[in-house]
Copies of this chain bind each other. A is one copy, B any other.
Amino acid sequence: MSNLRNSVQLIGRLGKDPEIKVFDSGKKLATFTIATNSAYRNNKGDKVEEVQWHNLVMWDKLADIAAQYLKKGSEVAIEGKLVHRSYETSEGEKRYTTEINVNDIVMLGGK
């Protein structure tokens, strides 16, 4: 419940349509990425554009919202929890990934 100890807010756009999975249990999962853009001047005074791509996951009701309303290019604001996970590759190697488990989303730019 405590968003205060671990909270991420992002404003950005989807790189692709969300992928939706429905599990046998009925649980629904939407995964997608969003880009956040920033610009700064380097030590030569040139403007540098920087993009970060973030992995987002949304469950159940939020996955329904993703399935219905979100698509490639959609602008959203999200709040979520930062989660670091490990998994094994098919070759048996351990890999790490970071995802944002979304708690709340606002669709932006609606007319």
**Does the CB pair A84–B53 fall under 8 Å?**
yes
CB–CB B104/A1 < 8 A? yes
- Number of A residues, CB within 8 Å of B: 38
Tell me how many chains of this kind the complex includes.
Answer: 4
Provide the main secondary structure of the chain A interface: strand
Q: Which residue of B lies closest to A108 (CB)?
A: B108
Bound-complex Cα distance A12 to B2 (A): 12
A104-B38 contact given A8-B7, A82-B52, CB 8 Å threshold: no
**Residues of chain B contacted by A106 (CB below 8 angstroms):** 2, 4-5, 11
Q: Is A64 part of the binding interface, using a Cβ–Cβ cutoff of 8 Å?
A: no
Interface of A with B (CB < 8 Å)?
Answer: 1-12, 36-38, 40, 52-54, 75, 77-79, 81-84, 96-98, 103-106, 108-111
